[in-house]
Structure 1
Amino acid sequence: MAGLFEAASGGGAVIALDEVETSILRSLAVQMLELIGPGPAEEEQADPLAALFAEGPSAPPEDPALARLFPDAYGEPNQAQDDEQRAASAEFRRFTEVDLRTRKREDALAVVHALDALGSGGERGGVLRLDAEQCRRWLGALNDLRLTLGARLDVADDGEDDRLYRLPDDDPAKPLVMAYLWLGAMQESLVEAVLP
């Protein structure tokens, strides 16, 4: 069970993580939080009506990883948009990106909190049990982490896994590749664990 999820009796999932796995996962989740950025200021959160109508950016992110996490809603990926698609994407982004960032931030925080519950700020290994809601959050966070690493590795689709497996050990991207593949296996095992 080390490093992969299994179905837990009574629902949810369970995974045994050693200290290294725990440390890597926590570090990646914290980096994801830094990439996504801070949430709205506390004074903005005090008014729930204002938060409901908060507007986000209308321009797509310049960072390729953020662009992968927050893609345009209209047009084909990696294709030039016409003026109508660009305007529709900007409008859609303006009203959805704040909520999307909040959800992604909460998913990454759920991973950090769960790992911290193992003890010593996520520096100890152990058996982690997730309920159904935690599983949903972990699935979101694992997906976001893979998308981010995929963007950093310039992976266009899962069909490129073969290229990643052939990477020489002395390639500086090898640690990212190993994390990307491990997160994929972990994500797949969690999906299988929670499916009926």
Structure 2
Amino acid sequence: MAGLFESAGAGGAVLALDELEASILRSLEVQMLELIGPGPGGDGDGDPLAALFAEGPTEAPDDPALARLFPDAYGDPGGPADPRSAEASGEFRRYTELDLRARKRDDALHVVRALDGLGGEGGLVSLDAPACLRWLGALNDLRLALGVRLEVTEDDEQGLYDLPDADDRKPLVMAYLWLGALQESLLEAVAD
């Protein structure tokens, strides 16, 4: 896989993807949408005023990947549970998580729709500056979730390059590393 972002000027970027790359990225984003879930009500046909005042959960998600995407706002991430921090995190989560989930869903959907615009084939994806921010968010979310599933730590990230081909994690590791390269190239393209 070689498709990386290049600057298009004015904070925009372009990405040339072959059919396989587009398919893999689309599949990963669809899986992200499934992980995040449909949101409150599930169908979006509810009362918009009620949705505006809807309260989210007060407990962190049980799924480690979701917990990484929606971390507690207070307390030490790996430390012992502090009742005051847990209560503050619950209050913060109650008023922010629904919006954060909606933003993450919107970012992932934006990527899926852009890839759908290629018609199931490879091609050139052109992004303006606001779309670049959505793609950065979506790519970051994918890397965070994959990193949790692969149990990646800063200490062993170099070891990912040395996995034998027979290792069952190899396809996910390749996706994780490619997403990192995409994310880095997009940051560089936006900065140009």
TM range (shorter): over 0.9
Contact in 2 for aligned 1:21/1:125 (Cα 8 Å)? yes
Query: 1:43 Cα deviation (Å)?
Result: 3.6
Q: How many residues align?
A: 190
Asked if 2 retains the 8 angstrom alpha-carbon contact of 1:3 and 1:21, the reply is: yes
Residue 109 of structure 1 and its aligned partner are, at CA, apart by: 0.1
Task: Give the match for residue 23 of structure 2.
Answer: 23
Q: Contact 1:2–1:15 at 8 Å: present in 2 too?
A: no
C-alpha separation in 2, matches of 1:43 and 1:127: 35
Render the CA deviation track for 1:85-134: whole Å, top value 9, x for unaligned: 11111111111110010000000000000000111xxx210111011111
2:63 is aligned with 1:66: no
Q: Look up the equivalent residue of 1:174 and give its one-letter code.
A: K
Residue type at the aligned position of 1:156: T
Deviation, structure 1 residue 168: 1.2
**How far is 1:167 from its partner?**
1.2
What is residue 102 of structure 1 aligned with on the other side? 102
> Which of residues 174, 177, 185 in structure 1 aligns to 2:173?
177
Aligned partner of 1:168 in structure 2 is 164
Alpha-carbon shift at residue 166 of structure 1 (Å): 1.6
Equivalent pair of 2:10/2:129 in contact (CA under 8 Å): no
Deviation at 1:160, TM superposition (A): 2.6
Amino acid at match of 2:162: R
Equivalent-residue separation in structure 2 for 1:62 and 1:56 (angstroms): 15
SS at match of 2:98: helix
Paired with 1:139 and 1:114, the residues of 2 have a C-alpha distance of 14
**2:146 is matched with which residue?**
149
SS in 1 for 2:164: coil
Letter matched to residue 141 of structure 2:
D
TM-superposition CA deviations, 1:127-156 (whole Å, max 9, x none): 110111111100000000000000000113
Name segments (4+ residues, structure 1) moved above 6 Å.
none
Structure 1 unaligned spans of 5+: none
Q: Which residue of structure 1 aligns with residue 128 of structure 2? A: 131
Alpha-carbon distance in 2 for matches of 1:59, 1:151: 19
**CA drift at 1:81:** 2.0
How high is the sequence identity, in percent, across the aligned residues? 67
Query: Secondary structure, in 3 states, of the residue corresponding to 2:16?
Result: strand
What's the offset of the Cα at 1:51? 2.2
Answer whether contact 1:111 1:138 (CA < 8 A) is retained. Answer: yes
* TM-score after normalising by structure 1: 0.92
**Per-residue CA distance 1:2-55 (angstroms, 9 max, x = gap):** 4100001454100100011000000000000000000233243x323x222211
Is the 1:30–1:108 contact (alpha carbons within 8 Å) kept by the matching residues of 2?
A: yes
Question: Of the candidates 171, 192, 196, which is equivalent to residue 188 of structure 2?
Answer: 192
SS at match of 2:157: helix
